[in-house]
Homo-oligomer: A and B are copies of this chain.
Amino acid sequence: MTERLVLHEYSQSGNCYKIRLTAALLRVPLERREYDIAKGETRTPEFLAGINPNGRIPVLQVGDRFIPESNAACFYLADGTRLVPEDRFDRADMLHWMFFEQYNHEPNVATLRFWRAFVGEDRLGEAQRAQIPAKQAAGEAALKLLDDHLALRDWLVGDRPTLADIALYAYTHVAGEGGFDIAAFPAIGGWLDRMAGEPGYVAMGG
């Protein structure tokens, strides 16, 4: 990796953490630039024109080019390393878990964490409050599916950690902050411990 890598981030975001954890496990140095999303720092004209027209972090800067979407940025860092399986089926299976994370897990588990631990339930709008029961149920279903899968194996794909584990670890290990009872999912508990024991592991938010 010869080009300069800069992570445009908000350090409490699990999506940003995925990229930092991938880089740490691979011992790839990243510069970091913090944005205050509560102050709208990712919606300024400069950010939209220069970094991400979607107005979101994380964005991984590679030289003078930019990769939005956390799981795509992780793929860039890990492409060709042990964190992406060499086997064609396993590589697609890894992506299956990463798309599951963004579609079924993050919009429920991460959103409830953000609403409850960062915004505060009393500050939510009516439309948000109305979505809580559905998001709670969908988040629990996603965690149940993950737990069932991990009951039979140590890692989501193959016999070692891949980007699938990193992508799902990020918001699962702080799901308690969103009101989810992680203790109800015993296989997830063991998997979280295995992830935290990986050489090079870094904690969130640091």
Give chain A's interface residues, CB within 8 Å of chain B.
Answer: 53-54, 62, 65, 67-73, 75-76, 79-80, 88-89, 91-93, 95-96, 98-100, 102-104, 106-107, 127, 130-131, 134, 145, 148-149
Contacts and interface: CB of A to CB of B under 8 A. Distances in A.
A93 B73 CA distance: 8
A79 B68 contact: no
B92 A72 contact: yes
Interface residues of A: mostly helix, strand, loop or mixed?
helix
Number of copies: 2
Contacts of A89: 62, 65, 67, 76
A75 B62 CA distance: 23
Contacts of A130: 127, 130
Contacts of A68: 96, 100
